[in-house]
Structure 1
Amino acid sequence: MGEVSAVTGLARLWDLTTGDDHIGVAVVDGPVDDRHPVFAEGKLTQPSHAWPGDADSGTSAAHGTAVAGVLFGRHDGPVPGVAPACRAVSVPVFARGRRTSQLELARAIELAADSGVHVINVSGGQLAGAEEAEDVLTRAIDRCRERNVLVVAAVGNDGCFCDHVPASLPGVLAVGACDEAGRPLPTSNFGPGSRRQGLLAPGHDILVAVPGGGTTRMSGTSLAAPIVAGVAALLLSLQRRRGDAPDPGAVGRLLLESATPCDTARLGDGTCARHLAGTLDITKAVNAVTTTSAPISSPDPAPAVDAGERAVTLSCGTTLQSATDGQGGCDCAADDVFVPAAVTAPTPAARPWAPAATAPAPQTGVVTSAEQGKPAARRLVYALGTLGYDFGTEARRDTFKQLMPPVEADGVSLPANPYDPRQMVDYLRENPSEARPLIWTLNLDLTPIYAVEPVGGYAPGVYERLTEFLARQLKTEDDVDFVDRVSVPGALPGRTVKLFSGQVVPVIEINLTRGLYGWSVAGLAHAVTQECQVPQHNQRGNDNDRARLTDAVSDFLTRIYYDLRNFGATSRDRALNFAATNAVQARQTLAEALGRGMALQNIEVEKSPYGRPDSDCWDVKLRFFDPDNSKRAKRVYRFTVDVKDVMPVTLGPVRSWPEA
């Protein structure tokens, strides 16, 4: 097949539309060489708070440039794309050798959704079933479903009966690859999750752009996914042209339902298993959109996700890669599916063409179309995690090694080890100014998610507190001063820092010590329990009640830290995280519920219908059930958090009511 323009049915669709700049498509992938002549000048934008992983040219940009070209390539350029007139957003994530973590992928998906796009393309993932996905990734996909953002993801190229996340997660449109005759590529995965919610699309010898201006041919599900994402964007453009509200979820269901099923009578169930739910049928999908005035697909709301029932998977150190890598831990052999042909020389051309009569694409991130030309507002963060530090470069590490005093061990003087946090704490206490050259990090499960940078007049005090928290993390868990969690309130200025490992993380600026807390789960649970009034039956009963309340507070905090862990960058997550640090607010709720013989079922956060003018109020709801009587009504407790400012505040008393 080769050229995207040869995909069956696409030429007719292009006669109707090549896209609409009000329909946004995000490419969550590696960095993109946006200077390539395949792209119109200024075509690709990034969310205000995205960060580049590497330079936008060279091998690190090969995968992202190929995928973005299939989606957005201008039609008078060397690689015509599927939806060149749609708004294009690039969110770099596969930057370190095309590998990243599920945590980083989740953050990139959330950034893409926050930029206001309708479709998100993910040509990468990790070999795992939906039940094995880390909760942060599952929750990012859940939020896309809630906001009616269609996520299109490649099923992977391991050639095995195996699933790939995020492709196998509920609500995602999974895409496998076939050749020009509709035969599945031998390397295209076909696990149960992909068969349930996936279809095949052309992915063999696709003409793609390569960094520097040339072109080549590649194969794999990474190239099939953007074809489907682009077709979805064009169908949304048709919806908008007809005066209908674009409905990404309905379009995703339509593409799945209109796919041509495999002929089991002719090929047999074994062969048809590789065809997933069918093969992309653009003509049938276009007919459904253009010939009916009724909704193109009956609403199929996503099932509610019970945070209290979701399994928690703590998988430190796992990595994802672009789907064309064909390496994800699967035992099945994978062919070399990312096969470049001879790279053609860059096409000598003027700066890329821009579509005529097209309004400027709205800026992404927090800037809306009505705010063109205004500076983007800084995004607030209230994040929870553990503290760490990094050197960034060998030179900075060696500087610390030379400046730190030697240590004595059994009467022998040994060179300082800057990686030993105990030695580092001692050095920083003697030399407080040396805390500034360090890169302080906030980590989730040992994975850095932010670089913490104190600024302003309170910076010395913040550095002192960071040093103290680092020292307290080294204490034993039974020590009253032990710290296993810190809260970091601040703002994202849009800058990034590259760590020694090569990972790039966004910077949080902190300009106040208020809200920068450190605590342990056991210590905080004990503290709030001691302040709570418990029934005075007898000493033994009193002690039992306190022990139960301590366990309940610990469960509440642990649920937030692990099952509901997040980046603290959305209003919803800031309210949830503040509820954890403000556990004293929840102690009355927990004590009353336990007094009723109930147990915590789940925690929900939803936008509050009430609030002061110019506020950002969210209701944190704790739902309890009776573990001994399933017929008994549940009980809901609610308190409201305003996250308008850097430091959130609670509003009003706790409210409670029974729920059938």
Structure 2
Amino acid sequence: MLKNNRLTPKPAIDNLDDLWERTLGDPVVKIAILDGPTNLNHACLTDSNSRYISQRPSSSIQSSHGTFITSLIAAKHSSEVKGIAPACSFLLHDIYQEKPDGSLYSCSQSDIAAGIHNALENGANIINISGGEPIGSDVEMMPRLVNALQMCEQQGVLVVAATGNEGDARLHVPARFPTVLAVGSIDLQGLPSGFSNWTAADRLHGITTIGENIHGAINQAEQLVGKMSGTSFSTALVSGVAALLASCQQQPRDMLQIRDWILSCATPCLQNEGINCNRILAGRLNIKSILTQFQDMLLPVAKDISSKQVHNVTPSNSIQKVTIMNQENSSAPQSTHVTASAADANTEAATDAVSASAIDSTAVDNASTTVSASAASTSQVEPSESAQCACPTAVAPSSVSPSASSFNPSNNQGNTPTFENCQLVSAIGQPAYNFGTEANQDIFKAAISAWHDNLPAELKSLFPNTAFSELTMSAFLLWKVNGSLVNGFYSSQLVWILSMNATPVYSITPGLVPFNDAIYLSMAEFLGENVGLDISDYTQLTNNISMFSSLAGTKSGCENQKKQERLISCLQSKFDNFQDNKNDVMRMSLPGYISGQTKLLNGNAIQSVTPVAYGINNWTIDALVSTLPPEYSGSPEYREQLISLLNRLYINTINRGQTPDDRALNYAIYNIIAVAQIVRDAAKTDMQFTTYKVTPSKIARQHSEMRDVQLTFFNPANTTQASTTYALTVDVSAITPIIVGSIEQWQAPISVASL
């Protein structure tokens, strides 16, 4: 039973209720879920018909991806998630393993193949793979994986796999295999999600369905459900629909026939929609067409399914939600404070994130990469019941704004962006690094080892002798002799990364812009601050050490030695304190434009961002607290409240920063933290972040793109207290967004503020 009369949202799939009226699934139909660790003790899954067929050893489950995917298909309708096919049976096989900090190691094509074989041995009818490897079209799949997929076809087992989330004209492996039902993502209007991969060659064996802001189960102490976006979740929804169709299919069951139904009845993209139809693949999932065209091959509607059980699906504001950036991108999942180089496999969980795409201009017609004002929504593409599946009715236009602004540096010989080819980015994340190649990794190993050998004994114990330690790397890059950086040039040899939730999202490539030395220095400093290295004390220490070597044995030398010991002690103390308070928030802002791709050491590729030097900034808890009066700066309670507030703010707003809305939101967040008093004032009054809203601004000025951003805070200890909303207008037309006008604020009852 639902508690407190709360109504659980259902997946936003048209005509899903019609399918649920026929069946909620059949235990005979087995769905194998190849994913990360799944918490079967989660409240949404305790009653599900799920069992492990291969489980990675783990004392506890901290990641959410596997749990979220499983809940989308398996969760009972009496829980806070409505699974698509809760009455089916579920076979869980872990292809991803957690690191001690809760992030995920990559898996290989061999791991996926092993999972497929295990699923076949356990009688799976459907195999859901919300993951894959983004490889080039000229790269062959591993023979073992090819053989496993061929075996599925021979045994009549349906494989459903995610296309990937780089927004590129390529499908992940195994989604690109011709017998696999590949699944991409669309939004509620039926427009292709910016992050969803596609190819013209493979579109005939792929479909799209909703993949943005999907409601599912998460592993968090305070909240059981949340929202994620990505092709992983579109894939799970399609697997669930396929299972329902199999459950009401007349005997004998034929999963490959169901694959053909789904593809042939998909609502195709029409040229007058004004979008690149290759991104819709064969079409949009159309349950109504399937039920109409193949009703003679389906069992009649079951009379014993309560309509009350199927309906009552209106979302409730009383259900707490959190929007989370999934722990995946076009590289292997990474640990919280360790760089991408620690992962040596080359297949990742499907890249899931709310994002806009930098569309490959070589693979896509320029005229179709931007959504025009005449783009149509899915609901307006629905065919009539008498029509054939592939012949939808005319499409009515709808007003859709262009997905993003862009900037072409080759055409920008002056100071004005031309906004033509390159995707603009304004993102928030944490710094990390990667070596790119094994040869480069060996160079750093040798250089750091030689530097470490000459350190004072006290520093040797503080800085591990390894190139994989972010603390050691930052100390190495920032080492000064007589006031000069002696290792600073190494910074340009690293692949600098902006990570979100320990996942590499962008590489930072300053080489194309002026003042890149300052950017490299900033990245080294940000890296150090992210792991607790006090840059000011460390700078003094390195200068003092070089002076001590020239003054040894003198009175000044003795004084320098005492100062050196004091600075080392201070560094150690601050680092230890950082380790004891790992919830301390450090973030950096990254404005720039997409300038290509960067290959990481594990073989994966992520989008490259060329930044602008004046827009890169970072902030830490210490920096925020230091600006406050003594009664707050010395208060542990205030510090804890500030950390809690900021963490909630980041988790609920995390995004890739490519759409105008996301860029405006990210700039507003950076501004209220680093410039305005909003967050500090909210922390003083025990307020917490609750909601945000981004809308096109009513202010319109020539050559600008304006967004109004509202951020609302409330007091969880006193729900009768009015919430506080802060509003600001952001112009996102330039590479670096800018606030227009002043920040406004007002109070309103919580019930009003949440509307």
Is the TM-score greater than 0.5? no
Q: Give the TM-score normalised by structure 2.
A: 0.38
